[in-house]
Amino acid sequence: MVLSDGARAFLDRPLTAVLATASARGRSQATPIWYMMDGDHIVINTSVGRVKLRNLETNPYLALTVVDPQNPYRYVQIQGQVARFDRENGARDINRLSLRYTGKPYGYPGGDKPENRVTIVIRPIRVSGLSA
């Protein structure tokens, strides 16, 4: 699916997204995350052992919602599917995300390590919201 110009412009802003996944037992899990666009895909990043990664490895379908902090009624919701997991470029991509959101390289808090980072590439299936 190709995103509309309005949705793409909205998503190009470094806003916090909420990622919703479902476990193998059908339990919902939602997490605030950083994201970035990469062509027609959305890139997120996580660390090995995180619930969202386990959920997506079991069930590759997800929802991602991005809300404008100045106007909570302006949002984009994406229903998508994992296109691929990229363990080779995980450390590079968390640095790209950190620079986008903080202006600084990623600091690996809490004992996290570069080799633990996993990039998740998302293919949008359906887009809705006021900027869609």
Question: Residue 131: pLDDT band by 50, 70, 90 thresholds?
Answer: low
70-101 burial code (b ≥16 CB/10 A, e <16): eeeeebbbbebebbebbeeebbebbbbbbeee
**Residue range 34-91, pLDDT digits in tens:** 999 999 999 999 999 999 999 999 999 999 999 999 999 999 999 999 999 999 999 9
In the prediction, which pLDDT does 79 show? 97
In the prediction, which pLDDT does 101 show? 98
In the prediction, which pLDDT does 2 show? 76
In the prediction, which pLDDT does 111 show? 85
CB atoms within 10 A of CB 8: 15
CB atoms within 10 A of CB 43: 20
- pTM assigned to the model: 0.94
**What CATH number belongs to 5-129?**
2.30.110.10
What is the domain partition of the chain in residue ranges? 5-129
- Whose tokens are 């939602």? That residue is 30
In the prediction, which pLDDT does 132 show? 57
Tokens of 37: 């666009």
